[in-house]
């Protein structure tokens, strides 16, 4: 079967879905991050809103360390857990590691706000004064500074537990394209020791106190410091699709086709449309609502309900998979909505896979790096593995 698999890889489609922040238990080094005891999955599984029969059948609760709560006697998927080797628990380094890069330095964070040297350069470049300059929740910062922003025209600059420089502005005060230009100025300024992972435009609308963020968010990310699975596939002539914020995270490097999404529902609808497309390569998807709307806002029931909606989508998606399609599901970090604080949590992430040419009910145990996913994808497409990680192709193929 394996020879046939390799000889026909050119018609292969892999759908790699990242459930943003869906951790499954704190990692051995969680103490370095203040995250001992965090477990996003266990927190939401206690909610009455949690129901995930398809992921259970794939083997979610059969994964090492997850526990016996809903263990499936005959799982039909490939299942395992992945440990992050990169330093940090940021969206950027998590996705980079999934794509094959292990980050050996932590991207800078600013628990006390950005230093004067950065802010002064930003003010000179934009000609705009600023408000806030502190770590803040994205909704709270609008409540506390939105009215003053409208009255003065000053930009709201804030950060979080992540390596981010965020700029919020009302769309009727600052045109979205102008906000993007201010972000480009910030991206150039934030270099060297201040090289944050992402500069994020956060446009909003509404009237005080009912402000709301719009769907015109845009991330200006660092260029990945090395080759990714996306580069490897592009060099070999395969299609690469980035759905959601994937294109932003990788600064579009290695991505031939990109499509932003408004929310999880939009992302899942695009995935169903992608199933109807004829292509050979990788469709790499991020579903961000788990993290942005529920994890950071400590909304346990909201997170549980969002997972349940994804599971409902998953049933239909699996039913429509073609003979040579492979589905992979993972996450980039944790964000336990029941854990103290609102930041990401240093957790193992799940790996679930299904395909008609894959074994059923196979445990991968605990893999030492997210980057094993990248190596496996390259191996499946029978191309040179130019990223970090160890392939588990031989384990999962029939």
pLDDT category of residue 2 using cuts at 50, 70 and 90: very low
Residue with tokens 């996913």: 373
What's the confidence (pLDDT) of residue 10? 57
What's the confidence (pLDDT) of residue 3? 36
Which of 254, 225, 226, 227 lies closest to 242, judged by CA? 254
What's the confidence (pLDDT) of residue 108? 95
Residue 351 within any structural domain of the chain: yes
**How many structural domains compose the chain?**
2
pLDDT, tens digit, 9 for 90 and up, residues 48-65: 999 999 999 999 999 999
What's the confidence (pLDDT) of residue 11? 80
pLDDT category of residue 1 using cuts at 50, 70 and 90: very low
What's the confidence (pLDDT) of residue 76? 97
pLDDT, tens digit, 9 for 90 and up, residues 184-205: 999 999 999 999 999 999 999 9
Res. 80: pLDDT tops 80: yes
Residue 110 within any structural domain of the chain: no
What is the reported pTM? 0.92
What's the confidence (pLDDT) of residue 312? 98
What's the confidence (pLDDT) of residue 373? 98
Residue 111 within any structural domain of the chain: no
Res. 5: pLDDT tops 70: no
Lowest-pLDDT range of 62-71, 83-92, 152-161: 62-71
Does residue 249 contact residue 103 with C-beta atoms inside 8 Å? no
Cα Rg of the chain, angstroms: 21
**128 and 92 co-located in one domain:** no
SS3 content of the chain, % helix, strand, coil (to 5): 35, 20, 45
Find the angle CA(253)-CA(255)-CA(259) to the nearest 5 degrees: 120
pLDDT, tens digit, 9 for 90 and up, residues 12-52: 999 999 999 999 999 999 999 999 999 999 999 999 999 99
Q: Crossing angle for the helix pair 116-126 and 176-189, nearest 10 degrees?
A: 140
pLDDT category of residue 371 using cuts at 50, 70 and 90: very high
CA-to-CA distance for 22 and 370, rounded, in angstroms? Answer: 14
Stretch 168-178: mean pLDDT, rounded? 98
**275 and 207 co-located in one domain:** no
- DSSP letter (8 states) at residue 272: H
Does residue 92 contact residue 198 with C-beta atoms inside 8 Å? yes
Task: Give the residue numbers spanning the domain of 237.
Answer: 2-104+223-396
Mean pLDDT of the chain: 95
CA-to-CA distance for 308 and 240, rounded, in angstroms? Answer: 28
pLDDT category of residue 70 using cuts at 50, 70 and 90: confident
Does residue 148 contact residue 129 with C-beta atoms inside 8 Å? no
**354 and 212 co-located in one domain:** no
**256 and 307 co-located in one domain:** yes
What's the confidence (pLDDT) of residue 61? 96
**199 and 227 co-located in one domain:** no
**Last residue of a domain, which of 220, 251, 274?**
220
**Last residue of a domain, which of 162, 196, 220?**
220
Cross-strand bridge partners of residue 347: 26
**80 and 120 co-located in one domain:** no
**156 and 248 co-located in one domain:** no
**37 and 170 co-located in one domain:** no
**216 and 231 co-located in one domain:** no
**265 and 359 co-located in one domain:** yes
What's the confidence (pLDDT) of residue 106? 87
**233 and 86 co-located in one domain:** yes
The CATH number of residue 236's host domain is 3.40.720.10
pLDDT, tens digit, 9 for 90 and up, residues 288-328: 999 999 999 999 999 999 999 999 999 999 999 999 999 99
**Last residue of a domain, which of 193, 220, 247?**
220
Which residues does 279 contact at the CB level (< 8 Å), separation at least 6? 13, 239, 241
Which of 325, 335, 227 lies closest to 283, judged by CA? 325
What's the confidence (pLDDT) of residue 155? 98
Residue 25 within any structural domain of the chain: yes
**243 and 370 co-located in one domain:** yes
The CATH number of residue 144's host domain is 3.30.70.1250
pLDDT, tens digit, 9 for 90 and up, residues 273-291: 999 999 999 999 999 999 9
% of the chain exceeding 90 in pLDDT: 94
Stretch 154-161: mean pLDDT, rounded? 95
Residue 171 within any structural domain of the chain: yes
Does residue 375 contact residue 99 with C-beta atoms inside 8 Å? no
Q: Crossing angle for the helix pair 300-319 and 264-274, nearest 10 degrees?
A: 10
């Amino acid at each position: 079967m394996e020879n046939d698999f390799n000889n026909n890889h050119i018609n292969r489609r892999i759908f790699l879905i990242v459930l943003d922040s869906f951790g499954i238990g704190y990692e051995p080094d969680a103490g370095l991050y203040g995250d001992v005891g965090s477990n996003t999955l266990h927190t939401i599984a206690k909610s009455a809103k949690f129901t995930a029969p398809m992921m259970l059948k794939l083997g979610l609760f059969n994964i090492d360390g997850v526990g016996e709560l809903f263990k499936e006697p005959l799982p039909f998927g490939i299942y395992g857990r992945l440990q992050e080797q990169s330093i940090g628990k940021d969206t950027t380094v998590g996705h980079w590691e999934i794509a094959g890069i292990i980050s050996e330095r932590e991207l800078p964070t600013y628990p006390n706000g950005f230093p004067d040297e950065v802010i002064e350069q930003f003010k000179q470049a934009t000609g705009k004064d600023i408000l806030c300059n502190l770590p803040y929740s994205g909704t709270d910062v609008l409540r506390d500074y939105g009215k003053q922003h409208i009255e003065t025209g000053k930009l709201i600059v804030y950060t979080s537990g992540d390596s981010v420089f965020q700029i919020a502005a009302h769309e009727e005060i600052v045109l979205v394209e102008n906000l993007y230009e201010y972000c480009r100025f910030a991206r150039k300024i934030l270099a060297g020791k201040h090289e944050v992972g992402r500069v994020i435009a956060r446009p909003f609308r509404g009237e005080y106190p009912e402000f709301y963020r719009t769907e015109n968010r845009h991330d200006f990310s660092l260029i990945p410091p090395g080759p990714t699975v996306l580069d490897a596939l592009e060099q070999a002539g395969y299609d690469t699709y980035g759905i959601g914020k994937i294109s932003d995270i990788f600064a579009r490097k290695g991505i031939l086709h990109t499509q932003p999404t408004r929310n999880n529902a939009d992302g899942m609808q695009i995935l169903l449309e992608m199933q109807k497309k004829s292509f050979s390569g990788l469709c790499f998807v991020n579903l961000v609502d788990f993290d942005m709307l529920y994890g950071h806002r400590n909304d346990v029931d909201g997170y549980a309900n969002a997972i349940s909606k994804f599971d409902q989508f998953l049933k239909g998606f699996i039913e429509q998979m073609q003979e040579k399609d492979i589905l992979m599901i993972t996450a980039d970090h944790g964000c336990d909505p029941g854990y103290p604080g609102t930041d990401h949590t240093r957790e193992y992430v799940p790996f679930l896979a299904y395909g008609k040419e894959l074994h059923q009910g196979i445990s991968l145990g605990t893999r030492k790096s997210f980057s094993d996913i990248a190596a496996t994808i390259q191996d499946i497409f029978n191309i040179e593995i130019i990223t970090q990680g160890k392939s588990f192709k031989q384990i999962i193929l029939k």
